[in-house]
C-alpha cells in the first residue's frame, strides 16, 4: 500500500445513544486493494462504526468521513451506495421471493415506461454473475439458493452498484468449510481488482489468512492497527481486552493433575451410518474434549447420548446406574444436558425474553398448586442468571434475539445450568462468540468441573481444546481413533490431535 492514497478515512467518529457512549473519537483508514479486518469484543463498537459508514446511523458532530480525500456526508443508506459503499450484514438482507436479478437491483429497477424491464435487468446482472463464476442464473428465485449462494448474490449486488468499499460482517457464520474456502478465493479476487474490503470477524484464523491489516476497537475507542507481519493472537487479545492470552484458558479445577472416579460411561454407542461403537469414560470433575475433523461424527455421538437421534445400540451408565435415554427429556431428567452447536435454530427461542428462555426447562419446579406459574420466582431466577454469567443486557424481559452472540450463548447455558446437571455436553460452546465472552465461558466450565460436574467439550478450535481440557478423545470417520492427555497416551497438543484426526499417527505406528 506504500505510495497509494487512502480510499476511506474516518476521523474522530463518535456516537452517543441515550445514556451510552458507543463510540468515542474513533478513526479508521482503509486503502484500495486491501482487506482490512476490524476486530473487538461484542459491544466494542464495530457494528456502530460500520452502521455510520453505511448510513444507518448518524455520527455525533465533530467527526469526518472522507472518500478519496474529499469530505462527504452519508445521510442515509442510499447515500452510502452513491459513494460506492456497500455492506453485507451477518443476517442477509435479501428477499427470498424475488429473483437474483430483482434482488441485485432492488430499489434501482430498470423500467420500460411504467413497466419493469426484467429482461434488461437479467442481462445487466448476468455479466456480474459471470465475473463471480456462479452457476445460478439471474432469473433463479432466491429461495432456491443455498446460504453460500445467497451471499454471492449480496456481493453481486455490491458489484453492480459499482461499489469500491465492501463491508463484510461475519460472512462465514453459516458456511461450510468448503464454502468458506470458495468465499475467501473470491475475496482475494476482489482485492486484486482494487476493492477495499472491511472484514469483521471474531475468528482469528480468518484474520490470519485474509487480512492485510487489522484495526481493533475496545470499549468504543480505537485501540490500534497492526500490519500483516505484526498480527498474532497474543497482540490481538491484549488490544481487545487489555490482558494476555495466557489468562484466558482456565484449568484450575484439576491443579494437581489427579483423576477422580468414573461417573459417566459410554459403551459401544452406534447408529446406522455415522457413529461406530464408541466407548469412553468421564471422571468426576473432569473436562473431557472431543476433537476431530468436520464430519468425524462428534456432534452425532453427542446427539445419540442425549437421545436427540435414534441409536442402533449402546449403553449409558451414570454413577453406576444404567440409564434408559430415548428422548432429550429422558436425558435431562437423568442429569445429562446438551448445548447444541446451533443455538439460534435448535437452542433458543429468539422471540421470547431472557427470563422466558432461562426458565423454560424448570417452569414446573416452583409452580403453585393447579399449575399456576410462579412469575416472581422466574424473575428472580433470571436476574440471578444474568448476574452469575455476566450477561450484558438491560433487563430480563429483553428479547433474546436482540442480544449479541456471546450473550445469547450465556442465556442458553444458564437454562441448562438451572436443571442442575450431573453431566454437561457442550457442542462448539464458543462458536460466534467474542473473546471476552469466551473467557467467561471458560471460567464457567472450570467452575463447574471444580464443583464436580462432568463436562464434555466438542470444539473445532484446537487452542480451545488444548487450553481447557484434561483429556481429549479424537474421532475419525465415526470412531474414537485415539486419545491424548490420559495416562499412557501422548500429551495434549494441537500436533498430536491433528496426527490422530488425519490418520498420520496410525501410519507412523
| 443-466 pLDDT per residue, tens | 889 999 998 999 999 998 888 899
Q: What is the pLDDT of residue 508?
A: 35
Pair 145, 260 in one domain? no
Do residues 207 and 265 share a domain?
no
Which residues are CB-neighbours of 17 under 8 A, at least 6 positions away? none
Lowest-confidence range among 297-306, 310-319, 383-392, 471-480? 383-392
**Residue in 485, 475, 108, 436 with CA at minimum distance from that of residue 269:** 475
Domain containing 230 equals 8-243
Which tops the pLDDT comparison, 249 or 206? 206
Could you tell me if 105 and 192 lie in one domain?
Answer: yes
Same-domain pairing of 121 and 179: yes
pLDDT at 469 over 90: yes
pLDDT tens sequence across 215-273: 999 888 999 999 999 998 778 878 877 765 555 677 777 755 567 899 999 999 999 88
| 291 within some domain | yes
Dihedral (C-alpha) 113, 118, 121, 125: value to the nearest 10 degrees?
Answer: 180
Rounded to whole angstroms, the Cα distance separating 323 from 343 reads: 26
Q: What DSSP character marks residue 274?
A: S
Answer yes or no: do 276 and 222 share one domain. no
Residue 356 lies in a domain: yes
Separation of alpha carbons 287 and 89, rounded Å:
36
Name the pLDDT band for 507 (thresholds 50, 70, 90). Answer: very low
Beta-bridged to residue 287, according to DSSP, are: 455
Give the pLDDT score at 257: 56
Integer-rounded Cα radius of gyration of the chain: 25
**Do 400 and 468 have their domain in common?**
yes
pLDDT digits (tens, 9 = 90+) for 122-165: 999 998 998 888 889 999 999 998 888 888 898 898 889 889 99
Predicted pLDDT of residue 255: 55
Residue 407 has pLDDT above 80, yes or no: yes
Does the residue 297 lie in any domain? yes
Is 344 in the same domain as 453? yes
- pLDDT score for 391: 86
CB 96 within 8 A of CB 103: no
Helix axes 118-132, 147-160, angle to 10 degrees: 110
Take residue 198 and report the three cell numbers written for it: 472491511
pLDDT above 90: residue 65: yes
Grade residue 376 by pLDDT with cuts at 50, 70 and 90. confident
Say how many C-beta atoms besides its own lie within 10 A of residue 279's C-beta: 13
- 3-state SS track over 166-227: EEEECCCCCCCHHHHHHHHHHHHHHHHCCCEEEEECCCHHHHHHHCCEEEEEECCEEEEEEE
Helix (H) / strand (E) element for 454: namely: strand 454-458
Indicate the residue among 213, 243, 273 that finishes a domain.
Answer: 243
What is the overall mean pLDDT for the chain?
87
pLDDT in tens, 158-187: 889 889 999 998 888 767 777 888 889 989
Q: Closest Cα partner for 106 from 121, 119, 89, 92? A: 121
User: Does 3 fall in a domain?
Assistant: no
139 and 172 assigned to the same domain: yes
CATH of the domain at 81: 3.40.50.300
Q: Name, of 14-23, 269-278, 371-380, the range with top average pLDDT.
A: 269-278
CB contact at 8 A, 7 and 84: no
Which pLDDT belongs to residue 41? Answer: 73
- Residue 446 shares a structural domain with residue 345: yes
Q: Which domain-ending residue is among 188, 213, 243?
A: 243
Same domain? For 237 and 357 the reply is no
pLDDT in tens, 314-359: 999 999 999 999 999 999 999 999 999 888 778 888 888 999 888 8
Last residue of a domain, one of 216, 243, 270: 243
pLDDT at 487 over 80: yes
Q: 509 or 273: whose pLDDT is higher?
A: 273
Task: For strands 35-39 and 213-218, give the pairing.
Answer: parallel
DSSP-based three-state secondary structure for 307: coil
pLDDT value, residue 329: 92
Q: Does residue 92 fall inside a structural domain?
A: yes
Cβ 410 vs Cβ 357: under 8 Å: no
CA nearest to 167, candidates 320, 30, 311: 30
Tell me the average pLDDT across 64-77.
Answer: 95
For residues 169 and 98, membership in a common domain is answered with: yes
pLDDT for 504:
67
One domain, residues 171 and 260: no
CB atoms within 10 A of CB 306: 23
Q: Is 1 part of any domain?
A: no
How many domains in the chain? 2
Asked whether residue 501 is assigned to any structural domain, the reply reads: yes
pLDDT at 244: 56
In a domain, 438, yes or no: yes
Average pLDDT over residues 81-100: 87
Amino acid at each position: 500500500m506504500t505510495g497509494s492514497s487512502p480510499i476511506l478515512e474516518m476521523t474522530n467518529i463518535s456516537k452517543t445513544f441515550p445514556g451510552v457512549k458507543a463510540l468515542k473519537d474513533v478513526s479508521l483508514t482503509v486503502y484500495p486493494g486491501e482487506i482490512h479486518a476490524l476486530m473487538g469484543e461484542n459491544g466494542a463498537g464495530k457494528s456502530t462504526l460500520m452502521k455510520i459508514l453505511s448510513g444507518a446511523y448518524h455520527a455525533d458532530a465533530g467527526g469526518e468521513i472522507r472518500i478519496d480525500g474529499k469530505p462527504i456526508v452519508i445521510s442515509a443508506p442510499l447515500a452510502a451506495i452513491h459513494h460506492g459503499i456497500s455492506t453485507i450484514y451477518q443476517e442477509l438482507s435479501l428477499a427470498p421471493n424475488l429473483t437474483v436479478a430483482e434482488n441485485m437491483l432492488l430499489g434501482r429497477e430498470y423500467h420500460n415506461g411504467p413497466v419493469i424491464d426484467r429482461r434488461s435487468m437479467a442481462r445487466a446482472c448476468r455479466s456480474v454473475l459471470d465475473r463471480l463464476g456462479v452457476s445460478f442464473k439471474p432469473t433463479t428465485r432466491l429461495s432456491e439458493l443455498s446460504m453460500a449462494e445467497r451471499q454471492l448474490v449480496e456481493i453481486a449486488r455490491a458489484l453492480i452498484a459499482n461499489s469500491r468499499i465492501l463491508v463484510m460482517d461475519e460472512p462465514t457464520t453459516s458456511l461450510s468449510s468448503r464454502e468458506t474456502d470458495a468465499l475467501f478465493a473470491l475475496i482475494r479476487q476482489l482485492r486484486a481488482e482494487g476493492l477495499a474490503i472491511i472484514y469483521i470477524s471474531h475468528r482469528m484464523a480468518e484474520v490470519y489468512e485474509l487480512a492485510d491489516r487489522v484495526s481493533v476497537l475496545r470499549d468504543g475507542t480505537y485501540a490500534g492497527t497492526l500490519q500483516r507481519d505484526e498480527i498474532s493472537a497474543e497482540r490481538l487479545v491484549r488490544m481487545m481486552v487489555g490482558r494476555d492470552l495466557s489468562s484466558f484458558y482456565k484449568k484450575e479445577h484439576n491443579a494437581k493433575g489427579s483423576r477422580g472416579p468414573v461417573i459417566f460411561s459410554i459403551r459401544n454407542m452406534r447408529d446406522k451410518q455415522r457413529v461406530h461403537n464408541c466407548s469412553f469414560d468421564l471422571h468426576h470433575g473432569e473436562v473431557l474434549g472431543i476433537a476431530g475433523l468436520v464430519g468425524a461424527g462428534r456432534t452425532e455421538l453427542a446427539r445419540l447420548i442425549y437421545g436427540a437421534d435414534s441409536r442402533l445400540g449402546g449403553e449409558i451408565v451414570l454413577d453406576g446406574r444404567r440409564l434408559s435415554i430415548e428422548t432429550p427429556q429422558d436425558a435431562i431428567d437423568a442429569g445429562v444436558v446438551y448445548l447444541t452447536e446451533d443455538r439460534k435454530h435448535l437452542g433458543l427461542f429468539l422471540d421470547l425474553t431472557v427470563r422466558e428462555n432461562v426458565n423454560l426447562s424448570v417452569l414446573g419446579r416452583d409452580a403453585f398448586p393447579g399449575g399456576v406459574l410462579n412469575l416472581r420466582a422466574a424473575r428472580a431466577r433470571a436476574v440471578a442468571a444474568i448476574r452469575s454469567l455476566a450477561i450484558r443486557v438491560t433487563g430480563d424481559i429483553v428479547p433474546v434475539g436482540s442480544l449479541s452472540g456471546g450473550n445469547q450463548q450465556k442465556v442458553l447455558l444458564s437454562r441448562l445450568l438451572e436443571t442442575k446437571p450431573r453431566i454437561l455436553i457442550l457442542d462448539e460452546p464458543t462458536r460466534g462468540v467474542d473473546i471476552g465472552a469466551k473467557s467467561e465461558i471458560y471460567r464457567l466450565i472450570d467452575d463447574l468441573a471444580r464443583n464436580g460436574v462432568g463436562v464434555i467439550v466438542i470444539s473445532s478450535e484446537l487452542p480451545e481444546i488444548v487450553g481447557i481440557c484434561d483429556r481429549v478423545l479424537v474421532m475419525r470417520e465415526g470412531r474414537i481413533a485415539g486419545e491424548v492427555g490420559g495416562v499412557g497416551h501422548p500429551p495434549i497438543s494441537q500436533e498430536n490431535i491433528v496426527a490422530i484426526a488425519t490418520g498420520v499417527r496410525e501410519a507412523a505406528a
